[in-house]
Structure 1
Amino acid sequence: MKKIRILGIAPYEGMKTMMQNLAAKRKDIDLTVYIGDLDKGVEIARKNVDKNFDVIISRGGTASMIEKITDIPLVRISLSVYDIIRAIKMAENYTGKYAIVGYPGITETAKLLCDLLQYDIDIYTINSVDEVSGLLSDLKKKGYQMILCDMIANTTAKRLGMNAILITSGDESINIAFDQASRLYKSYFAIKENNLFLEKVMGEYDEKVMVYDKTGQLKLSTVDRDNLEAYTKIAEKELEASFKTNNRKFIKRMGEFSISVTSKVSSISNSTYVVYCFNENHNLQSSNRFGISYLTKDEVDASFFNSFYSIASPLSEMENDIRQMSTVDSPIMILGETGTGKSQIAKLLYARSSLNNNPLITLDCNLMDDKTWFFLLNHYNSPLTDSDNTLYFMDIHKLPEDRKDYLLTTLVSTNVHKRNRLLMSCATNESGGNHISAKEYINQLTCMTIHLAPLRERTGDIPQMSSLYINALNLDLAKQIIGFVPEAMELMKNYNWPANFTQFKRVLREMVTVTTTPYIPTETVESILEKEKLTAAAASIISPENEDLLSFPLDTTMTLNEISREIISLYIEKAGGNQSLAAKRLGISRTTLWRYLK
């Protein structure tokens, strides 16, 4: 903090010298001192009002008079007990009649001292300059020849021909005044700076604003009364996280609309504040339903921590790549088959990036309707118009061809990928082939790529992942399953897992749920995996890739066994009656096929 500029007004030369000597020993004071008593002191103060002094220091009646003509903080040099004792001791050798005369600050201390030390000294109190002359004239008539007094009475006494001992201020009194000036300035300066800061906040932001200090107290709000309670809950819930980070941005849904909130930490003097700016966005109402969602880092962390991917660690082999890619700003394309954890990789990349204090905005291309598409490409509040966020375009292969091309053109022409962190995911087929659209995005946006291996290529990890996830399922389902019998584990490892980890965790939950023994038996695994194969076969019937099967009249009122029997019969028919070929196409054994046909 800068030195305190002090204007000193001393009633006599000795005090001026003393103030200068003491100030020279201090590093916190820049002192300018003049000699002036009463009216002369006031005139000195008037002449220096506009010279940017922080504090005025003076004494007695002069200080009282100066206080009335300026708003500059004023500190009085008090008369200490030692100052008054010194004066009394000097008067002990005086044989004439004398008294103590002064303002209450002198006389009250003098009365206390005389009571304690058993001094028999007359004491008279004055409350204004106008009383001094009359009082001293009366004392002179009563035979008083000397007074102990401050500067006002001292001057008058000499004019009336009386002796006077001036009660002077010692070093300790002046140092106390300097200390008081320092504390006063710091307090006054802090209040002044804080008020200027709050005024600046009110003039700088057009949005609704709330300002909190470190104790959690609301110092300023421009939020209307109707929304104050709701906004306060949002601000106070985020307060701890906001103070830890200089700048944050997050989205909160409130009723019919969403609120974009930014927080900024500002330090003024010794005070630290968080400034929240709230921007209501009525165009983001129910945004999750239309394929746009907003998550904070805390929400992403909680979502990942409680997920299969955190518990069973299927993505641990990607740890180093994720750590390295999180440190750069280049767009990233995440490639992999359905269910390989592409969205979880996106969450990890966001959580470990430098932009994790701003929201992760997920744009689900599979859910975007015409309304969302128009908002995304045309509205001023679109995520594409903002900066310093992480944008995750999930499943870009789900977009119609014309929209894929238009989106890519928009991203490139408006530099969205340079103003934000851009993450994308695209599904690959079982042969590892990428969609043509993915290649276009990778090339034009200069994307780094992450390729996620399917579960069938990681069968060696299945025992470990199973154990970790079974442990979590035991807690969730109140079970005590230890694992699989050896034959059952071999079946798990040999299964194709077309939907990868998404299917694996669902199947494992079902197996743990139905098992009543410490180990999951072979029969349970066979039964559930056979259902999985038949379900996959049923799905292929309605797939555009199997147009010749679309005419099959699938009756959804039938039981699963009945549907399975119909599907097997259809595959046998398409195989020309060859049951072995039908079983191979279905991915089941001939024994299983025969059992369903009984």
Structure 2
Amino acid sequence: MDRLREGGYKMVVSDMVTHTLARQKGFDAFLITSGVESLHDAFTQAIQISDRFRQLRRQNQLLEGVARSRSGNTIILDAAGQLAYAAREQPGEALLSLLRSRIPDIPSAAPLRFFHSDKGEFIRVTARSLRAGWDPYYIFHCQLAQIPLRSSKNGLRFFDEAEAAQQFMHSFYSISGAMGALEEPVNAIAPTRQPVMILGEVGTGKEQIARALYLRSPRVNSPLVVVNCTLMTDKNWEYLFNHYASPLNEGSCTVYFQNLEQLSRPYQQELLAVATETNLPRRVRLIFSAACMDGQPLPEPVQALRSQLGCLTLQLPTLRSRRDELPSLASLYLSSLNAELGKQIIGFDPRATEQLLHYEWPNNYTQFKQVLQELVTLTNSAYIRGSVVAEVLAQERRSCHTDLPSLPAQGAAPGGTLDEIILSAIHRTLDAVGGNQTAAARQLGISRTTLWRYLNPKPAKKRRRTEPGCPLFCLYHPSIKSIDFPHSIHFTKAWSLCYTVNHDSEVSK
């Protein structure tokens, strides 16, 4: 017993005599009442159990080495959602919460694939369910993207549902309720699998409409991939079409090709070929957008892709086509800016509203939002004043390039009716003088009252033409002193007048 103590042994298994002695010496003693054969069997069984556990430890080390050799991190959760295993670093609580929330979505016989953005990194997740005896476990393999996809300089951006929803929530469309008539077609198109082509001028919010389509679609649990054709590089184009981890190889992504008209001709042809030959629209949801002036034809390659893929089309209205809604849109966005900038601005004074209405807004909602932000920042009174609006819009005119139609050159035949030509001239004169109606009237050579009547026309009343009277329009000119009907009518005021001349030479105003 003394030698056993010196050897560091702490437990003794023995018969009654040795058991008593071992207890006296301070050992943990276990009494065996069986014979020698039973004792030999017990030791043999203990050795077998030890060998089995040694083998299990080796298998565990081998499997752990395999898990760690894979790129990414393998995470296993138990039925309660608690962490059972992590091959690499301990996952953060945000990632664990996401994985727990996806457990109900994991099918029993197939993997679930989804994407997650975390601190500027894009993570591709493959999830499977597994049973160990009666207990279910859930395995998540999280793999970091191969290239820095989060950088917009590369032309590729990835958004999950939460990020896309946050971007749309803070957009002008969401804050001001500017969706308007687009609400119904967006809701109708979103659940479909057909490709969509979004058309509109610069600044009409094509990316926000693409986000709305994504958020209202059945594919919202998979990522939204934004491909900015203006910034597309050869490296990312190669990744997009030839890499095994490309979102085009996933069966649930929404891929939005932005600024399609800016894509080089070879890339446009390759995109169309891949989409048609590989049946791409059946695997992923495709959304395209192209900038085009209102009423102008689409570029030929864009039109070809639109027709050959059978795209559903959304034409976004310009801001100037919604002038009657402009005051309400401005008021709704003003409330948001008040909260954001700590202001208490009530609204716009009449002259400020007039100037906003008469500006052409070549960059549409994007420009309107930026102008409103600047106006609120510069205003410290209860109302945004016309003088501030005039100053900001004057700066916009100097800095903003516009492709909007201009007045015809001298000698050219103007288009439209006479009223349309006059109204167009009035609006452009107002823009040139910052919305000042007095200055515009002076420049046009008419009174403010006449200007106001042109800007606020009343519905025309039907005139019942009776004989023998007929209408005669006379425009005053300083050189005209009288007109014989055969009797003379002498003008005393320099205004345009309308008279009815009867056959008996009576004149009525």
Q: TM (normalized to structure 2)? A: 0.62
Residue of structure 1 equivalent to 2:299: 435
Residue of structure 2 equivalent to 1:260: 124
Q: Secondary structure at the match of 1:505?
A: helix
Residue of structure 1 equivalent to 2:345: 481
Structure 1 CA distance for aligned equivalents of residues 430 and 275 of structure 2: 43
Q: Secondary structure at the match of 1:529?
A: helix
Residue of structure 1 equivalent to 2:250: 386
Q: Which string of whole-angstrom CA distances, capped at 9 and with x for unpartnered residues, describes residues 307-332 of structure 1? A: 22211111142222222212111111
Any residues of structure 2 matched to 1:178-577 within 5 Å, and which?
208-213=73-78, 215-223=80-88, 228-229=89-90, 231-233=91-93, 235-243=95-103, 245-246=105-106, 247-252=112-117, 258-264=122-128, 273-284=137-148, 287-536=151-400, 539=401
1:588 aligns to 2:448 (yes or no): no
CA contact (8 A) 1:242 1:264 kept: no
Offset of residue 507 of structure 1 = 0.2
Distance of aligned partners of 1:344 and 1:269 in 2 relative to their CA distance in 1, 3 Å threshold: farther
Structure 1 CA distance for aligned equivalents of residues 359 and 149 of structure 2: 44
Q: Which string of whole-angstrom CA distances, capped at 9 and with x for unpartnered residues, describes residues 208-243 of structure 1? A: 4212135442123333xxxx13x4456314135323
Structure 2 CA distance for aligned equivalents of residues 419 and 531 of structure 1: 48
Structure 2 CA distance for aligned equivalents of residues 535 and 378 of structure 1: 42
Offset of residue 346 of structure 1 = 0.8
Structure 2 CA distance for aligned equivalents of residues 433 and 481 of structure 1: 42
Q: Which string of whole-angstrom CA distances, capped at 9 and with x for unpartnered residues, describes residues 421-469 of structure 1? A: 1111111113343222221111111111111101111112211111111
Structure 2 CA distance for aligned equivalents of residues 468 and 344 of structure 1: 18
CA contact (8 A) 2:227 2:258 kept: yes
Kindly indicate whether structure 1 or structure 2 has the higher relative contact order, using CA contacts under 8 Å at least 6 residues apart.
2
| Equivalent residue letter for 2:271 | L
Offset of residue 298 of structure 1 = 1.1
Offset of residue 272 of structure 1 = 5.7
Structure 1 alignment gaps of length 5 or more: 1-126, 131-198, 546-570
Structure 1 CA distance for aligned equivalents of residues 158 and 196 of structure 2: 19
Q: Which string of whole-angstrom CA distances, capped at 9 and with x for unpartnered residues, describes residues 151-203 of structure 1? A: xxxxxxxxxxxxxxxxxxxxxxxxxxxxxxxxxxxxxxxxxxxxxxxx9xx99
CA contact (8 A) 2:76 2:84 kept: yes
Q: Secondary structure at the match of 1:458?
A: helix
Structure 2 CA distance for aligned equivalents of residues 354 and 478 of structure 1: 39
Q: Which string of whole-angstrom CA distances, capped at 9 and with x for unpartnered residues, describes residues 275-322 of structure 1? A: 311223323455533011111101111221122221111114222222
Residue of structure 2 equivalent to 1:187: none
Offset of residue 519 of structure 1 = 1.1
Q: Secondary structure at the match of 2:165?
A: helix
Residue of structure 2 equivalent to 1:124: none
Structure 1 CA distance for aligned equivalents of residues 435 and 209 of structure 2: 40
Q: Secondary structure at the match of 1:469?
A: helix
Cα RMSD (Å) of the superposition? 3.8
| Equivalent residue letter for 2:103 | F
Structure 2 CA distance for aligned equivalents of residues 292 and 251 of structure 1: 15
Q: Secondary structure at the match of 1:380?
A: coil
Count how many residue pairs are aligned between Structure 1 and Structure 2: 362
Offset of residue 575 of structure 1 = 9.1
Higher helix share: 1
Structure 2 CA distance for aligned equivalents of residues 459 and 584 of structure 1: 15
Offset of residue 206 of structure 1 = 6.8
Residue of structure 1 equivalent to 2:483: none
CA contact (8 A) 2:171 2:208 kept: no
Structure 1 CA distance for aligned equivalents of residues 284 and 114 of structure 2: 13
Q: Secondary structure at the match of 1:391?
A: strand
Any residues of structure 2 matched to 1:13-52 within 5 Å, and which?
none
| Equivalent residue letter for 2:248 | L
CA contact (8 A) 1:245 1:265 kept: no
CA contact (8 A) 1:252 1:261 kept: no
| Equivalent residue letter for 1:377 | F
CA contact (8 A) 1:427 1:435 kept: no
Distance of aligned partners of 1:370 and 1:519 in 2 relative to their CA distance in 1, 3 Å threshold: same
Offset of residue 502 of structure 1 = 0.3
Structure 2 CA distance for aligned equivalents of residues 264 and 467 of structure 1: 50
Offset of residue 384 of structure 1 = 2.4
CA contact (8 A) 1:291 1:366 kept: yes
Residue of structure 1 equivalent to 2:59: none
Offset of residue 358 of structure 1 = 1.0
Q: Secondary structure at the match of 2:147?
A: helix
CA contact (8 A) 1:211 1:221 kept: yes
| Equivalent residue letter for 1:242 | R
Structure 2 CA distance for aligned equivalents of residues 591 and 488 of structure 1: 8
CA contact (8 A) 1:248 1:357 kept: no
Q: Which string of whole-angstrom CA distances, capped at 9 and with x for unpartnered residues, describes residues 238-290 of structure 1? A: 135323533450144678x7431234567889866543112233234555330
Structure 2 CA distance for aligned equivalents of residues 591 and 320 of structure 1: 35
CA contact (8 A) 1:245 1:357 kept: no
| Equivalent residue letter for 1:340 | T
